[in-house]
Structure 1
Amino acid sequence: MTTALHIVCPHCDAINRLPRERLRDGAKCGSCHRPLYEGRPAALDSVARFDRHATHSDIPLLVDFWAIWCGPCRAMAPIFEQAATQLEPDLRLVKVDSDAVQELLRRFSIQSIPTLMLMHHGREIARKSGIMPLPQLLAWTREHVDGMKV
């Protein structure tokens, strides 16, 4: 029996149904026809887009709360980019500019940036602030995702 997953498109935010076994087959959005995964984080620039991805996707969401003026955030950016190439399509990696979407910082009580938050179906699973080298980021993420029913 095939299990279908709901995957939100990082480009047009359409919700796509995708058989679990086709997750790694280079799937494209049924609405905009662009790839559902490109091996890089998606930028979510509004509360509405964030909520759509956080609540409607059946795969976990790894969120990087950052700001352009933040030195540690700029140092973390290439590490987060590399993580996307290794963690997708099992997770969706997204970046949220804390200056553009301050409501989310208040909602989640984000006190410092960069802060990484792992979510599934709109619920926070884990959180970590500060810079992490790639091996530590991958291990931290996998540790929390492995026990999750996805």
Structure 2
Amino acid sequence: MNVVCPSCLKVNSIPKKDSYAKANCGSCKNSLLDTTPIELDESNFDHVIVNSDIPVIVDFWAPWCGPCKMMAPIFSEVAQKYPLKALFVKVNTQEHQNLGAKFNIRSIPTLVVYKEGIEKKRVSGALDPLRLSNLVNENL
């Protein structure tokens, strides 16, 4: 399966397994098990969405948004449960207004789940850890 390296954004082809003890990027050698959400922009958004065989969970947010700030640690916490099962990414809609407009983001936070490059689910508003985990699980 193809996964995008969270460090250098290179596409890596790895065998699909139930769990991984170790998986490193063939290019930068950093761990593919890193679950820290990746910040995306116009230059790399499509690359990550199209080249990821695992679901990509996108958090469209802005720094001035109270619910976005509340959900940020929850998003990072839930991401830790899904190494090489789902890729968690963030888009700052204040800095990257073109992406917000392109994907018709009308309120934030908005979470969008992409699978095989196609939008599968969209949820607006902050989610608690259980609801976020359920959203991810139903799209694995």
- Mark yes or no: TM-score above 0.5: yes
1:140 CA displacement? 2.1
Identity score, percent: 39
Indicate the structure with greater helix content.
Answer: 1
Aligned to 2:44, what secondary structure does the other structure show? Answer: helix
Match of residue 76, structure 2, among 71, 81, 91 = 81
Instruction: Give the structure 2 partner of residue 10 of structure 1.
Output: 6
Match of residue 53, structure 1, among 48, 54, 60 = 48
* Most deviating of 14-23 and 73-82: 14-23
- List per-residue Cα deviations over 1:112-150 (Å, max 9, x = no partner): 11000000122100000111110111112212x14xxxx
Alpha-carbon distance in structure 2 between the residues aligned to 1:56 and 1:10:
13
Instruction: Give the structure 2 partner of residue 39 of structure 1.
Output: 35
Amino acid at match of 2:98: E
Matched, 1:27 2:23: yes
Alpha-carbon distance in structure 1 between the residues aligned to 2:10 and 2:86:
17
Amino acid at match of 2:48: H
The number of equivalent residue pairs is: 140
Aligned to 1:87, what secondary structure does the other structure show? Answer: coil
1:87 CA displacement? 2.3
Instruction: Give the structure 2 partner of residue 90 of structure 1.
Output: 85
Unmatched tracts of structure 2, length 5 or more? none
Alpha-carbon distance in structure 2 between the residues aligned to 1:48 and 1:37:
23
Pick closer, same or farther for the CA change 1:7–1:23 going to 2, 3 Å. Answer: farther
User: Could you state the TM-score of these two structures normalised by the residue count of structure 1?
Assistant: 0.87
User: Could you state the TM-score of these two structures normalised by the residue count of structure 2?
Assistant: 0.93
Alpha-carbon distance in structure 2 between the residues aligned to 1:104 and 1:72:
20
Match of residue 72, structure 1, among 67, 91, 105 = 67
Cα-Cα RMSD:
1.4
Whether the 8 Å contact between 2:86 and 2:136 is mirrored in structure 1 is no
Aligned to 2:60, what secondary structure does the other structure show? Answer: strand
